Structure 1
Amino acid sequence: MTSLAIPPAPSSSRAGDRAARTTSSFTALTRQVHELGLMRRRYGYYWTKLVGATVLLAAWAVGFVHLGDTWWQLASAVVLAVLVTQVAFLGHDAAHRQIFVSGRWNDWASLVVADLFVGISYGWWQSKHTRHHANPNKDGYDPDIALGAVAITPTQANRHQSPVLRWLVAHQGWYFFPLLLLEGLSLHVEAVKRVTSRTPVQRRWVEAAFLLVRLGGLLALVLVVLPLPKAAAFLGVELGVFGLYMGATFAPNHIGMPLVSPRLKLDFLRRQVLTSRNISGGRWVSVLMGGLNHQVEHHLFPSMARPHLRRLAPLVAAHCAAEGVPYTQTTLLQSYRQVVVYLNTVGLKGRDPFLCPLVAQRRALQP
């Protein structure tokens, strides 16, 4: 991950002219998007997925009971983890107002999906994710780069003075993905902490009730069907695969992309595009990643329905080329390699956390 440094300030008139041109060009792109109908709702697509998710989860529960006391239930745990992650993608879409016109309908859809079906707190995730979208990869603003288990920024890495901790940071890329096995448990814990905290929480009792049904219901079902050793193994596998799948889907989106200095002002287009990475691979990757493979387009038009992102991508790529803005796309495996390499070297790039090879390019774009 490189860092966007602070270039010499241009004159106010030049900065104003450039900002006006950027705003005008993005307005033209937005107008084209609306004219092509890419902002229209896809009710059939989403209702099919919502109803299908409910049916599949119910079918899984019936199958789980029918399978009974057997170690084959570990395979059932993997199936449940994959189903739950795919359902979580629907909660993400609803939280971004992609499904319904009504904000209330989207809120409740996301609340039901997140808390009742997945077991994570919609309110906790929405607050965190909103801040991320406003300032992706911006140091001190984006909560997604303020992780406790790994150092995402050189500043975080340089806080460690112990030789052992510095060695661990220099090799953190290798254990990043294994750590994701704990992400599912962490998401459930954060949900419980939110509804039991003393701070004001909107819809506290609704979230608490949904979480109790989801987390308590699954635990009760597993303990009724399986003896304790198999139940513990089942829950461990389900939580591990769920966390790994979720983390492996979100990690390629921004880790290893440029960091933004808290003092640097970027226009909306550059703020979203320079810090985001698309994943190539076609429809199967879109299904696997819940549409998050089109991360650049999603950040530019977060309320756009998932099926339209694929059609939008060529327009955004062409627009970025015309504006001289780097548009990053790579394969899934290559993105994972970049994540590992960056995390292993984040503490070795020098003491200045905002040394940036893109500064020269940004200066070249200035009139």
Structure 2
Amino acid sequence: MTVAETSHPAPPRRGSDFARLSRRIAEAGLLDKRPGYYALRISLVAALFAGTWAAFAALGDSWWQLGLAVLMAIAFAQVTLLAHDLAHGQISRSRRVSRIAGLVAGNLAVGLSYGWWMDKHTRHHANPNHEEHDPDVAPDILIWSRRQAEASEGLPRFIGRWQAFLFFPLLTLEGVNLKVSSFRALRRKSLKSRGTEAALLSAHVLAYLGAVLLVLPLPKALLFLAVHQACYGVYLGCTFAPNHKGMPVLTAEDELDFLRKQVLTSRNVRGGRLVNTALGGLNFQIEHHLFPSMPTANLRKAQPIVRDYCASLGIGYVECGLLESWGQALRHLHEVGRPLREVRT
């Protein structure tokens, strides 16, 4: 998919297109904080997180723990989504409060470096789906464009041939990958509060592994860890993949303003309250990318304003169901891997 296929020229207008939209959003009060919403959401997620650990201790040496591992993966993912909102300043106006809460939720609760992830995610928001600048489309394992396929070598080149079929199996490793990346980030001098981050990450690993090994015998403990981390990785992957994968991949030749850069590379996912809760509001990805600090609860209200505004400018606004979003992502992965399948080995 190219940028030209998703946008049509609009008559020249004075001023910034995004500035006009931003004024409409601000006048509607949609950038205001929602303390009541987040107080309730944090309470529910904290209860789920603590409740799964309490149930784990109560069940003891039982095969029912494998079912609980799935529920605990959901709890971990919901905590991670809260850390995401904290990183964007959606919950509190205070950067200090957001950072402290983010370190507790990210590093201590789920073993994800808040500082590392915040830096990575900020770069993604600045240049979504950009080959050179978005770390989320770097060809580390998977390839995201034909240009990357032609330049690939080693593991990405090997996996790239059939990456669409390997996508979901690879997601089972994403939870472990995030932990490994978090510890590797501690070597960076640019990471703020490295000592605090290291202490909290270490405390998480020791408490997490210690609790599991204390309650379960080693074979059952290893199986519990495998199920939990696999489900956690798949949940996160299924939450973030529908947002941009399969949308236009930008290069240095693409010169777009902020509004078009964010809208044309993002995709919304239709669904009711269940989808909204499961995806942490990220199903309104277009609105989130345009207004990252907007509280999750307001994204739904902003959608008709943004959608109608994009229509008035002839800017393609993509929205589809959850299964279709995964299908588009997988078809894109398969298509960009075509050059590798056509090469004789």
* TM value normalised by structure 2: 0.92
Residue correspondence of structure 1 range 246-257 to structure 2 within 5 A: 246-257=236-247
Q: For residues 104-137 of structure 1, give each alpha carbon's deviation from its aligned partner in whole angstroms, at most 9, with x where no partner exists.
A: 2122222211111111001110111111100111
Matches within 5 A, 1:203-222: 203-222=193-212
**8 Å contact kept, 1:85–1:245:** yes
The question of 1:56 aligning with 2:42 is answered no
Corresponding letter in the other structure for 1:76: L
The equivalent residue for 1:224 is: 214
Equivalent position of 1:316 in the other structure: 306
Identify if the C-alpha distance between structure 1 residues 266 and 73 changes in structure 2 by more than 3 Å, giving closer, same or farther: same
In structure 2, what is the equivalent of residue 263 of structure 1?
253
Contact 2:185 2:191 in 1 (8 A): yes
Corresponding residue for 2:161? 170
Q: Residue 122 in 1 paired to residue 91 in 2?
A: no
**Larger CA deviation: 219-228 vs 259-268:** 259-268
Larger mean Cα displacement after TM superposition, 167-176 or 321-330:
167-176
Tell me the residue number matched to 2:315: 325
Q: CA deviation at 1:27?
A: 2.0
Map residues 14-163 of structure 1 onto 2, 5 A cutoff: 18=12, 21=14, 23=16, 25-160=17-152
Distance 2:276 2:306 in 1: 17
Matched, 1:193 2:184: yes
Q: 1:233, CA displacement in angstroms?
A: 0.2
For 2:337, the aligned partner's letter is G
Q: Which letter does structure 2 place at the counterpart of 1:178? A: P
**Post-superposition shift, 1:349?**
7.1
Give the alignment partner of residue 286 of structure 2, picking from 291, 296, 313.
296
Which residue matches 1:240?
230
Larger Rg: 1
CA offsets 1:281-326 (integer angstroms, 9 cap, x no match) = 1221111101000000000000000000001001100000000000
> Residue type matched to 1:199 in 2?
K
| Matched AA of 1:294 | F
Closer, same or farther: CA 165–43 of 1 in aligned 2, 3 Å: closer
Shift of the alpha carbon at 1:200? 4.1
Which whole-Å deviations, capped at 9, do the CAs of 1:265-296 have from their partners, x for residues lacking one?
21111000000000001221111101000000
Is 1:253–1:276's contact at 8 Å kept on the other side of the alignment? yes
The alpha-carbon deviation at position 192 of structure 1 amounts to 1.4
Change in CA separation of 1:160 and 1:209 when aligned onto 2, cut-off 3 Å: closer
Which runs of no fewer than 5 residues in structure 2 stay unpaired? 341-345
For residues 77 and 147 of structure 1, the distance between their equivalents in structure 2, rounded to whole angstroms, comes to 31
Change (3 A) 1:51 1:205: farther
Deviation, 1:167, is 7.3
Counterpart Cα distance in 1 of 2:190 and 2:247 = 35
174, 179, 182: which is aligned to 2:170? 179
CA offset at residue 22 of structure 1? 6.0
The 8 Å contact of residues 163 and 337 in structure 2, kept in 1 or not, is answered as no
RMSD (Å) for aligned C-alpha atoms = 2.2
Structure 1 CA distance for aligned equivalents of residues 196 and 149 of structure 2: 40
CA contact (8 A) 2:146 2:337 kept: yes
TM-score by length of 1: 0.87
Are the aligned partners of 2:143 and 2:156 in contact in 1 as well (CA < 8 Å)?
no
Shift of 1:63: 1.1
What is the Cα deviation at residue 198 of structure 1? 5.5
TM-aligned CA deviation for residue 245 of structure 1:
0.4
